Amino acid sequence: MTTLSPLGGPEDLRAQAGGTQPAIRIRGLSRSFGPVRALEDVSFDVPAGELTALLGENGAGKSTLLKILAGLQPPSGGSVTLFGREVDAYDPHTMLTEHSIAIVPQELSLLPDRTVAENILAGVEPGNRLFPSKRTMIRRTLELLSELELQLDPNTVVRTLDMATQQLVVVARSIARGCRVLILDEPTAMLTPAEADRLFALMAKLKAGGTTLLYVSHRMPEVFALADQIEVLRDGRHVASWRRSETTPEQAVAAMVGRELGQFTSRAELHPAADRSGSTPALAVAELSGRRHSGISFEVRPGEILGVAGLPDSGRVELLHNIFGAEKGTGGTVALSGRVYENRSPIASVAAKLAFVPGERRAQGLLTTMSVGDNIGVLTVRALSRLGLVRRGAFDRSTSERARALRVKTATIDQPITNLSGGNQQKAMLARWLAIEPTVLVLDEPTRGVDVGAKAEIYEQLFALSEGGVAMLCSSSDLPELLTITDRIAVLSEGRLVGIVDTASATEESIMTLATGAVASAA
């Protein structure tokens, strides 16, 4: 379970950080991309020395607003005032040097072959800038790291650090450059609970020192544990503003989606323990071994959703890649509907109606130079072609229909996919794989970066697929997600299957106990 340290006295800190003057004053801000109005007449203040959470559905305009504040793109209209000074040049350098504001982006921008110290002090090297003394650099870095209570070796080459630690280096770098307002865009999307706790501790430390934090997250428990102030965007407009103590997660979600979301019924409540033992397994994995996993056996029957839980280094992702044929295995078999699936490869999997929605959409699937429609239809283009020519009308109708079914928010399907917000790109990836009408659907982190409303819609889609007999294998680091959508959960620890539990009787704690190797139970 994630534990969050209580963050202290915002009123005191506000006084310390300059009375009632806000750190950021946003007035009438707008930004259009052609016909798309990403932001419309947005006005609100971000109090100094506090943590403000910015909430909104996928495509609500959060990233657009953050990018403007970080100087990565200018607004089409309106103004931003930082500590009383209106911004007149929107570029990252000016924003940092003149207005002390910086962003920790989702895709980190460090120099991978340089050390922690070189990255943290890049551009602000002490002493002779051309020939900074290495010893001075190390000393300065150590001072900063100890001030931030980060246990990091300044001599470590950044490439060798995990993503979560690299993120901490980016934060430290911003502070070294004199940043007083730090923007974090979904910083915990890729972190384990323990890694997220480390980041929260650092955020608390920064706040205690008077840094203003503006933060986007789709995770309500996190927001309600951390934020002092909550601002909500919907369809590019600012729709709500509360002190955290004045609102509830339900109220915040209702403001985001524009309606009350009913309590989501979990699968265990909907379909208590359906007996599927008579049917041939749609997917049977026997003694499967490969990179970081060995001797894994389980079966998934038509209509069943089997979860896969485990720490990030448990071999979860490699197992999915091996089943799908994206990575070579070293032994064991995979069978689909009773027939052994030899020579696995992504192309053969598409033909066998085995679909795989990857977790890292940018690196593993998004065709970044192509449109939304082409991204969705890329696997079914042959079925919609005649004599090698794409039947454009039929293709566009089919991809539009699939985009609509998953509520992918896009002006038209001809937009470049990179114009879509992160969560909508994820939905487009799911739409692509549903287009092959799979009999087995393998999913890795299916709702990473997806908002709460869309999450419920994706779950409903998965339940409908299960009703239609699709077997699903769903790996996720989000344990409440696995407890909501699966029938059973396979738990991996250090590459081994340590148990398969019935979801109805499982809890987050029981799964974590298995996943951390505290207890091993028979599969």
Give the nearest distance from C-beta 234 to ligand ATP in angstroms: 10
Closer to ligand ATP by Cβ: residue 303 or 422: 422
Burial label for 275, CB within 10 Å (0-12, 13-18, 19+), is exposed
Give the nearest distance from C-beta 423 to ligand ATP in angstroms: 3
How far apart are alpha carbons 449 and 255 in whole angstroms?
19
Give the nearest distance from C-beta 233 to ligand ATP in angstroms: 7
Closer to ligand ATP by Cβ: residue 64 or 141: 64
Amino acid at 391: R
Q: What are phi and psi of 30, to 5 degrees?
A: -140, 155
Q: How many CB atoms are located within 10 Å of the residue 93 CB?
A: 10
How far apart are alpha carbons 298 and 279 in whole angstroms?
14
Closer to ligand ATP by Cβ: residue 423 or 495: 423
Give the nearest distance from C-beta 227 to ligand ATP in angstroms: 17
Rg (CA), the chain: 24
Closer to ligand ATP by Cβ: residue 416 or 517: 416
Closer to ligand ATP by Cβ: residue 37 or 496: 37
Give the nearest distance from C-beta 404 to ligand ATP in angstroms: 15
Residues 6+ apart with CB under 8 A from 152: 116, 145, 165, 168, 169
Farthest-apart Cα atoms in the chain, separation = 76
Q: Which residues bind ligand ATP (CB under 6 A)?
A: 33, 36, 38, 56, 58-64, 409, 419-424, 451
Amino acid at 177: R
For 332, the token pair is 């064991």
Look up tokens 């509360």; give the residue.
242
Report the DSSP beta bridge partners of residue 300. 283
Give the nearest distance from C-beta 493 to ligand ATP in angstroms: 32
**Sign of torsion over alpha carbons 495, 499, 503, 507:** negative
Closer to ligand ATP by Cβ: residue 14 or 67: 67
Give the nearest distance from C-beta 431 to ligand ATP in angstroms: 15
Could you tell me if 253 and 246 are in contact, meaning their C-beta atoms sit under 8 angstroms apart?
A: no
- What is the number of alpha carbons within 13 Å of residue 268 lying toward its C-beta? 18
DSSP assignment of 27-40: EEEEEEETTEEEEE
DSSP assignment of 432-474: HHHTT--SEEEEESTTTT--HHHHHHHHHHHHHHHHTT-EEEE
Give the nearest distance from C-beta 418 to ligand ATP in angstroms: 7
Closer to ligand ATP by Cβ: residue 55 or 434: 55
Closer to ligand ATP by Cβ: residue 49 or 422: 422
Give the nearest distance from C-beta 361 to ligand ATP in angstroms: 12
Give the nearest distance from C-beta 180 to ligand ATP in angstroms: 24
Give the nearest distance from C-beta 488 to ligand ATP in angstroms: 31
Could you tell me if 366 and 420 are in contact, meaning their C-beta atoms sit under 8 angstroms apart?
A: no
Which of 388, 360, 451 lies closest to 106, judged by CA? 360
Closer to ligand ATP by Cβ: residue 58 or 380: 58
Closer to ligand ATP by Cβ: residue 265 or 368: 368
Closer to ligand ATP by Cβ: residue 32 or 289: 32
Burial label for 49, CB within 10 Å (0-12, 13-18, 19+), is buried
Residues 6+ apart with CB under 8 A from 139: none
Closer to ligand ATP by Cβ: residue 63 or 188: 63
- What is the number of alpha carbons within 13 Å of residue 10 lying toward its C-beta? 19
Give the nearest distance from C-beta 326 to ligand ATP in angstroms: 25
Please list the alpha-helical segments (H only) found in 353-502. Answer: 372-377, 392-405, 422-434, 452-467, 479-485
